[in-house]
């Protein structure tokens, strides 16, 4: 039986951080054994906010190197660069004809970007979710492993697929945001202000490239409080975030100890942070070292990129054939 198709992408706008890892990459690694996976570096998307392309190639290489260092196996999953697949741009054009200005203007990520960069509200930014839909629909994917922040974009991709199918016939399956748990992941910034992100407070974001001292420094500065004084006090979200990170990186007995300390109101956040910092270092260090080695191996990287492009283009061309036929283009 044919495996279900999975697609997901990451913008090359900086080093990957724990949010990218736990919201996306961790699932890629698990899914590559069970699904027909297409993962990619969304370099066209990065142009919507980062028009300077001088260091783009280096950033693309970094994203690939970090994914492989995390355990992505390019013999199992197809890993490619978005701009190597011109078929995506053609599908983007068609989908743009069925995307309405009003719905695009209402997209929360668009409104955020307008607030942050009022001097650069370009059409690419407005149609960002359309390009994202094209990325997904070009392989007729069903599952899209992403973090919570992408939920809205996935809903829009579904809507565009529904619209296409209604107008031109059933061609595109309806994709949805996927996580192995029952909800999508959101890793918070260590200062407690919103989600961890490549562009927000860098001292509150842990990058997979941070060295040991930097990891210690950032975790020891993470926001905490005086601790609970009454049993049964729910954890504030910034404390829950530290526990979530502990769950991901620490041994079971360590997690249980701090959970128990929290429950009986004896928790010392200084101790928790020290433990978390050491466990996080043990988790990140091998990834950082492996990513650095891969990034320096340009021959290997270009082989990976070429192999990925060939496979992704073959899949994209098949979909585009169906799309064009449904739209009565090029029928000979």
Of 69-77, 141-149, 241-249, 304-312, the segment contacting ligand TYM by CB under 6 A is 141-149
Site string for ligand TYM, 152-171 (x = CB under 6 A): -x------------------
Asked whether position 19 contacts ligand TYM by CB under 6 A, the answer is: yes
Helix H segments across the chain?
A: 18-20, 26-31, 43-46, 56-70, 86-96, 101-106, 108-116, 123-126, 128-137, 151-168, 212-220, 237-249, 252-263, 269-296, 298-326
Identify whether the C-beta of residue 15 lies closer than 8 Å to the C-beta of residue 211: no
| Angle formed by the axes of helices 128-137 and 108-116, nearest 10° | 130
β-sheet bridge partners, residue 176 = 143
Give the count of alpha carbons within 13 A of 314, CB side only.
6
Residue 60 CB, shortest distance to ligand TYM, in Å, is 12
Which among 18-26, 253-261, 266-274, 298-306 is the span making contact with ligand TYM, rule CB under 6 A?
Answer: 18-26
* CB nearer ligand TYM, residue 149 or residue 279: 149
User: Edge-to-edge strands of the sheet including 143-145?
Assistant: 78-81, 36-41, 5-10, 143-145, 176-178
Instruction: Report the SS3 class of residue 234.
Output: coil
CA 97 to chain centre: 27
- Token pair, residue 123, equals 């059409």
Residues numbered 167-196 forming contacts with ligand TYM, rule: CB under 6 A: 185-187, 195-196
| Cα dihedral 199, 202, 205, 206 sign | positive
Pick the closer one to ligand TYM by CB: 16 or 267.
Answer: 16
Q: Which is nearer to ligand TYM, 19 or 228 (CB)?
A: 19
Site mask for ligand TYM (CB under 6 A), range 204-243, x = bound: ----------------------------------------
> Does 138 contact ligand TYM by CB under 6 A?
no
Binding mask 82-121 for ligand TYM (x = CB under 6 A): ----------------------------------------
Among 5, 15, 20, 315, binds ligand TYM (CB under 6 A): 20
Maximum C-alpha span of the chain: 76
Question: Which CB atom, from 22 or from 79, has the smaller least distance to ligand TYM?
Answer: 22
Catalytic residue, from 76, 148, 195, 311: name it: 195
Q: Output the six-digit token pair for 217.
A: 């420094």
DSSP state of 118: G
Q: Does 244 bind ligand TYM (CB under 6 A)?
A: no
Residue pair 294/300 in contact by the 8 Å Cβ criterion:
yes
Q: Which is nearer to ligand TYM, 23 or 308 (CB)?
A: 23
Give the catalytic positions in this structure.
Answer: 113, 195, 198
Summarize as ranges the residues that interact with ligand TYM (CB under 6 A).
7-11, 19-20, 22-24, 42, 45, 132, 135-136, 144, 146-147, 149-150, 153, 185-187, 195-197
């Amino acid at each position: 039986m044919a495996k279900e198709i999975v697609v997901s992408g990451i913008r090359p706008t900086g080093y990957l951080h724990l949010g990218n890892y736990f919201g996306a990459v961790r699932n890629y690694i698990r899914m590559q054994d069970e699904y027909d996976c297409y993962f990619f570096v969304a370099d066209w998307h990065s142009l919507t906010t980062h028009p300077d392309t001088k260091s783009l190639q280096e950033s693309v290489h970094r994203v690939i190197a970090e994914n492989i260092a995390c355990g992505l196996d390019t013999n199992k999953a197809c890993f490619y660069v978005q701009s190597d697949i011109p078929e995506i741009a053609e599908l983007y054009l068609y989908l743009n004809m069925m995307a309405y200005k009003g719905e695009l203007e209402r997209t929360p990520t668009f409104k955020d970007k307008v607030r942050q960069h009022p001097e650069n509200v370009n059409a690419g930014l407005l149609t960002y979710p359309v390009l994202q839909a094209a990325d997904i629909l070009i392989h007729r994917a069903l599952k899209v492993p992403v973090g919570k922040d992408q939920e809205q974009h996935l809903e829009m991709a579904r809507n565009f697929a529904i619209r296409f199918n209604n107008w031109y016939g059933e061609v595109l399956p309806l994709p949805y945001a996927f996580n192995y748990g029952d909800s999508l992941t959101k890793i918070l910034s260590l200062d407690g202000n919103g989600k961890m992100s490549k562009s927000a407070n860098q001292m509150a974001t842990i990058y997979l490239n941070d060295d040991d001292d930097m990891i210690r420094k950032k975790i020891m500065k993470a926001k905490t409080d005086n601790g609970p004084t009454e049993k049964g006090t729910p954890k504030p979200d910034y404390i829950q975030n530290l526990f979530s990170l502990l769950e991901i990186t620490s041994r079971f007995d360590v997690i249980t100890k701090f959970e128990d300390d929290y429950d009986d109101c004896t928790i010392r956040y200084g101790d928790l942070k020290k433990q978390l910092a050491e466990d996080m270092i043990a988790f990140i260090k091998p990834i950082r070292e492996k990513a650095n080695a891969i990034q320096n191996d340009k021959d290997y990287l270009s082989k990976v990129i070429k192999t990925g492009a060939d496979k992704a283009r073959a899949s994209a061309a098949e979909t585009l054939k169906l799309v064009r036929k449904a739209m009565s283009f090029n029928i000979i």
